[in-house]
Amino acid sequence: MSVVKAYDVAFVRFAVPDMDTMERFLLDFGFAVAERQDGRLFMRGYEGTPFAHVSEQASEPAFLGFGIWLRSEDDLRRLAASEGVTVETLEGPGGGLVARLCDPDGFVVEAIAGQQPAQPLPAPPSEPWNQGGTYPRQGVWRRVEKGPSHVRRLGHVVLGVTNFARSEKWYKERFGFVTSDEIRPAPETAIGAFMRCDRGEEPCDHHTLFLLERPIPPGFMHAAFEVRDLDDLMAGHDFLVGKGWDHQWGIGRHKLGSQVFDYWRDPYGNEVEHWTDGDQLVTRDGGGVATLPDLLGVQWGMEMPPLPQPVTKLEDAR
Do 254 and 194 form a contact (C-beta atoms < 8 A)?
Answer: no
Strands 40-44 and 6-16: unpaired
What pTM does this model have? 0.94
Give the CA dihedral 285, 291, 292, 295, nearest 10 degrees.
-20
pLDDT of residue 306: 76
pLDDT of residue 25 exceeding 70, the answer is yes
pLDDT of residue 83 exceeding 70, the answer is yes
pLDDT category at 307 given cuts 50, 70, 90 is low
pLDDT of residue 248 exceeding 90, the answer is yes
Q: What percent of the chain lies above the pLDDT cut of 70?
A: 96
The domains located in the chain, with CATH, are 6-116+151-301 (3.10.180.10)
pLDDT of residue 177 exceeding 80, the answer is yes
Q: What average pLDDT score do residues 272-289 get?
A: 96
pLDDT category at 310 given cuts 50, 70, 90 is very low
Q: Distance (Å, rounded) from C-alpha 196 to C-alpha 287?
A: 10
pLDDT in tens, 120-137: 999 888 889 999 999 999
pLDDT category at 314 given cuts 50, 70, 90 is very low
Q: What average pLDDT score do residues 171-187 get?
A: 97
Phi–psi pair at 80, nearest 5 degrees: -60, -40
